[in-house]
Structure 1
């Protein structure tokens, strides 16, 4: 019974983390919204522009990051292994390079807020006034 109580208590503590959600962020001067399909196209090298026509610069979190896994599960439908294979093929055939990586949420916000046309994703709990939420997938 004591083990069951500990497991229940641990699950209650972990549940706020499980409820966190990823959001797509953009530069404050960028578009106010973007569709899931448009984000997918940007992150899978199918498009190079934001909805307002501005040249896009997507940023990526590192492999193994929980927000990255959630983002790609919801938006591109690919896991880290599939993304690695996809980008290997893109690079090998000369079709493109993977998005530049931001080391963590703070670095992602700094890069997106300082470069017009940039887009990224972070956990919703990391949102602040330096960036604009443009999609909640």
Structure 2
């Protein structure tokens, strides 16, 4: 092997190394963006109830029971009315995955099973954030979710433990 071959191999090796570093740096950057986006998304919405609901905090298990339609009344006996957005809505996906720890299709499957078996009802689907705010604010025992920017004094924010 002469000096010419050695110099070509060294250049190729240095080029490969710098390219690998670039790919690694880019992948690390993407990972950091993903982590920051998850934290930010979780902070921008809340679970809300009608002002007449006396509960101020719920456990994740209770919240999951409410949205799976198996918990049907509040502790004071008021019927729980659940309002949700469409399965494709960004807010619905975020709430399902981050607060309820299930995928939207799993919720839909649970609701469909209740409806088709005749043992329960699906939640009421609303078409917009504005409609969600209106329904939760004006329906006794209502629960739903809203972006923080849309929350006003007509609904109560639930603390999730």
- The bucket for the TM-score relative to the shorter chain is 0.7 to 0.9
Q: Which runs of 5+ in 2 are unaligned?
A: 1-25, 27-32
- TM-score, normalising length from structure 2? 0.68
Calculate the aligned-residue CA RMSD, in Å.
2.5
Q: Secondary structure of 2:106's partner?
A: helix
* CA shift in 2, pair 1:49/1:28, >3 Å: same
2-side partners of 1:51 and 1:115: how far apart?
17
* Match status 1:93 vs 2:108: no
* Match status 1:72 vs 2:102: no
Residues 7-86 of structure 1 aligned to structure 2 (within 5 Å): 18=41, 20-35=43-58, 36-86=60-110
Q: Secondary structure of 1:84's partner?
A: helix
Q: Does 1 or 2 have the higher relative contact order (CA < 8 Å, sep 6+)?
A: 1
* CA shift in 2, pair 1:18/1:46, >3 Å: closer
* CA shift in 2, pair 1:122/1:88, >3 Å: same
2-side partners of 1:127 and 1:90: how far apart?
31
Partner of 1:7: none
Query: More displaced, 108-117 or 83-92?
Result: 83-92
Partner of 2:134: 110
1-side partners of 2:41 and 2:70: how far apart?
31
Question: Which structure shows the bigger proportion of residues in helix conformation?
Answer: 2
1:17 Cα offset (Å): 6.3
Q: Which runs of 5+ in 1 are unaligned?
A: 5-10
How many residues are matched?
128
Larger Rg: 1 or 2? 2
4+ residue runs over 6 A deviation: none
